[in-house]
Amino acid sequence: MLIDFGGTKEEVITRKEFPMAKARKVLKNEVIAVIGYGVQGPAQSLNLRDNGFNVIVGQDPKFKSDWDRAVKDGWKPGKTLFDIEEACERGTIIQLLVSDAAQKAIWPDVKKHLKEGDALYFSHGFSIVYKHLTKVIPPEYVDVIMVAPKGSGTSVRRNFLSGAGINSSFAVAQDYTGRALERCLALGIGIGSGFLFPTTFENEVYSDLTGERGVLMGALAGIMEAQYQVLRENGHSPSEAFNETVEELTQSLIRLVDEKGMDWMYQNCSATAQRGALDWKPKFKKATLPVFRELYKRVKEGAETKRVLKSLGNPNYKQELQKELAEMANSEMWLAGKACRELRPKEPASKQIKSKVGTQGRTNY
């Protein structure tokens, strides 16, 4: 389907062009081995299983919590749940869904079980694009494909269960069999993608690393902390500062953006809010544009990749990570957030949104 994205036309694949029946036909003789049961692994494997594909899971039993989670989700040890090497030996499509650092660590064990005509599947371009650092270099006799859901594993599963699906990008880095593209698209439909849009391994990893460090996580958290701090410094209470910084965004405004776009959200706010937002938006863009350019440069040059691999290679990394996350969780801002969440009405969020929107489609903001 050809879609016009603001004057630029792109070809996207929906379930209409590539229905589930076609996906099942393409993969009817495949054994899909999902390696890793941490973040993306559970969602993608369960969605594929629920859609009727032949799926097995490969998980290192040493990571007991992930192994036990797989068992709890219905994967049977010795039948559909194996250690990593056994799953790779049995699979014809190897979905490498462990963390980026773990992919580097287990790659020698994965590679020796790849057979001619197998497909090696990723949900992130990291290991292939930065192969000079990861040493993940696929043999020439396999397909190398990618489907990258634009959301966490939790969102991939939740959206699948709701019937909405989640958008995913797709790419083919190596087509040995001549079937790489149809295998890739079938898997994208199989994991429950709402629609699929084309990319390259390089573009996916550059945009993904920039987005995570930027608007999606790093910038969002940093901007929230800055505004909260200024409000507190000027005498506002924790509940007021948190509500004006986070609660109103997540419980009302961002949902309007999701529904019909940023312009529609602006249209459904007060004239005072509109004027102020339009005046200050360029100031924030001017202030942050140099930061984003620096970020993208570091991503493209591999500096961020080196940082990730070095950090995750530290034997004490998990303990240090938990300290950093605990510091965030125990900050006044997020303790205030915990209290606010406990005070939220227990009715569905959709009802809350409807109650804020009047007959003319305008909110109280």
Q: Is 4 left (phi over 0), alpha (psi -120 to 50) or beta?
A: beta
The one catalytic residue in 113, 124, 132, 236 is 124
Cα separations (Å) of 4 from 8, 9, 165, 185, 193? Answer: 6, 4, 21, 21, 20
113 catalytic per annotation: no
Q: Reduce the DSSP state of residue 311 to 3 states and report it.
A: helix
Residues 73, 78, 83, CA angle at the centre, nearest 5°?
A: 80
Cα distance between residue 211 and residue 347, in whole Å: 32
User: Are residues 4 and 12 in contact, defined by beta-carbon separation less than 8 angstroms?
Assistant: no
Q: Is 306 left (phi over 0), alpha (psi -120 to 50) or beta?
A: alpha
Cα distance between residue 31 and residue 82, in whole Å: 13
Note the helical H segments in 84-217.
84-90, 100-111, 126-129, 131-134, 153-162, 180-190, 201-213
User: Are residues 53 and 29 in contact, defined by beta-carbon separation less than 8 angstroms?
Assistant: no
Q: Reduce the DSSP state of residue 14 to 3 states and report it.
A: strand
Q: Give the max Cα distance, the chain.
A: 67
Task: Map tokens 């197998």 to a residue.
Answer: 118
What positions carry a catalytic annotation? 124
